[in-house]
Chain A
Amino acid sequence: MASKALPGKNVHHNDRKSRPKPAAIGWLFSLPYFVFALVFFLIPLGWVFYLSVLKWNTISPVRVFIGFNNFTDAIKSVEIKAAFVNTFIFMLIIVPFVMIFSLLIAIIINKLPAKLKGIFSVGFFLPYLSSGVATSLVAIGVFSYFSPFNIFLRSIGKTVDWFNTGWSAFIIICMLIIWKMYGYYMLLFLSSLESIGSDIHDACKIDGAQGFTKLRKVILPGIYPALMTVTILACGLAFSIFTEPYKLTNGGPGNATQTWQLIIYNESFVNLRSGYGAAIALISAVLTFAVLLFVKKLVEKWGAVNGWN
Chain B
Amino acid sequence: MAGTKKRILFITMATVLLLFFIFPYVYMVLQSLAPWDQVDKKLFPTILTLRSYVFLKTGGGQASVPWIGSFFNSMIVSFGSTFLQLATAALLAYAISIIKFRGAKFFENFILFQMFFPTIIFILPNFIIIKSLHISNNYLGMILPLSISAWAAFIYENYFKGLPNEILEAAKIDGANEIRIARSIVLPMSKSITTILFLFLFMGRWNELMWDMIAVTDVKLKTLNVLLSSMFGPYGGYPGPLYAASVILSVPLIVLFIIFSKNFKEGMNFVLK
Contact in complex: A2, B101 (CB < 8 Å): yes
Size band of the interface chain B makes with A: 35 or more
Chain A 123-144 near chain B by CB (<8 Å), digits 1 or 0: 1111111111111011011101
Q: State which of A2, A29, A108, A278 has its C-beta within 8 Å of the C-beta of B13.
A: A108
- A188 (CB) vs chain B CBs: closest residue: B272
- B17 (CB) vs chain A CBs: closest residue: A105
Contact in complex: A1, B105 (CB < 8 Å): yes
Which A172-220 residues have C-beta < 8 A from chain B? 179, 187-188, 191, 194
A100: CB under 8 A from chain B? no
Stretch with Cβ within 8 A of A (4 or more), from B46-54, B55-63, B187-195, B243-251: B243-251
A239 proximity list for chain B (CB < 8 A): 118
Contact in complex: B104, A32 (CB < 8 Å): no
A260 proximity list for chain B (CB < 8 A): 120
Once the chains are docked, how many angstroms separate the CA of A183 from the CA of B148? 25
A87: CB under 8 A from chain B? no
Contact in complex: B104, A26 (CB < 8 Å): yes
Contact in complex: A240, B253 (CB < 8 Å): no
The listed residue with most A CB atoms (<10 A of its CB), out of B89, B99, B127, B249, is: B99
- B246 (CB) vs chain A CBs: closest residue: A134
| Given known contacts A30-B103, A240-B120, A131 and B144 CB-to-CB distance under 8 angstroms | no
Q: How many residues of A contact B (CB 8 A)?
A: 93
Contact in complex: B250, A3 (CB < 8 Å): no
Contact in complex: B27, A138 (CB < 8 Å): yes
Contact in complex: B209, A133 (CB < 8 Å): yes
Chain B 238-265 near chain A by CB (<8 Å), digits 1 or 0: 0100110010011001100110011011
Count of A-B contacts with CB under 8 A? 270
Chain A min CB distance to B151 (Å): 12
- A19 (CB) vs chain B CBs: closest residue: B177
| Given known contacts A44-B122, A129-B254, A120 and B18 CB-to-CB distance under 8 angstroms | yes
A120 proximity list for chain B (CB < 8 A): 14, 18
Q: State which of B39, B105, B175 has its C-beta within 8 Å of the C-beta of A2.
A: B105
A44 proximity list for chain B (CB < 8 A): 121-122, 125-126, 129
Contact in complex: B124, A278 (CB < 8 Å): yes
Once the chains are docked, how many angstroms separate the CA of A165 from the CA of B31? 26
Contact in complex: B21, A124 (CB < 8 Å): yes
Chain B min CB distance to A262 (Å): 10
A121 proximity list for chain B (CB < 8 A): 264-265
Chain B min CB distance to A173 (Å): 14
Chain B min CB distance to A227 (Å): 13
B207 proximity list for chain A (CB < 8 A): 129-133
Chain B 119-138 near chain A by CB (<8 Å), digits 1 or 0: 01111111111000000000
Chain A min CB distance to B163 (Å): 16
Contact in complex: A5, B129 (CB < 8 Å): no
Contact in complex: A26, B103 (CB < 8 Å): yes
Q: State which of A36, A43, A142, A281 has its C-beta within 8 Å of the C-beta of B120.
A: A281
Chain A 258-300 near chain B by CB (<8 Å), digits 1 or 0: 0011001100110000100110011011001100000000000
Stretch with Cβ within 8 A of B (4 or more), from A45-53, A65-73, A75-83, A91-99: A45-53
Contact in complex: B250, A130 (CB < 8 Å): yes
A5 proximity list for chain B (CB < 8 A): 100
Chain B min CB distance to A198 (Å): 14
Once the chains are docked, how many angstroms separate the CA of A266 from the CA of B229? 16
The listed residue with most B CB atoms (<10 A of its CB), out of A27, A29, A47, is: A29
B82: CB under 8 A from chain A? no
Once the chains are docked, how many angstroms separate the CA of A3 from the CA of B106? 11
B129 proximity list for chain A (CB < 8 A): 39-40, 43-44, 47
Contact in complex: A289, B116 (CB < 8 Å): yes
A57: CB under 8 A from chain B? no
- A47 (CB) vs chain B CBs: closest residue: B125
Q: A122-B261, A131-B225 are in contact. List 18 more A-B contacts (CB 8 A).
A: A23-B101, A29-B99, A30-B95, A34-B110, A37-B110, A37-B148, A40-B145, A41-B117, A43-B129, A44-B121, A44-B125, A47-B128, A105-B17, A121-B264, A126-B25, A127-B22, A179-B21, A240-B120
Residues of B at the A interface (CB closer than 8 Å) are: 6-7, 10-11, 13-14, 17-18, 21-22, 24-25, 27-28, 31, 39-43, 84, 87-89, 91-92, 94-96, 99-105, 107, 110, 114, 116-118, 120-129, 144-145, 147-148, 153, 172, 175, 177-178, 203, 206-207, 209-210, 214, 225, 228-229, 232, 239, 242-243, 246, 249-250, 253-254, 257-258, 261-262, 264-265, 268-269, 272-273
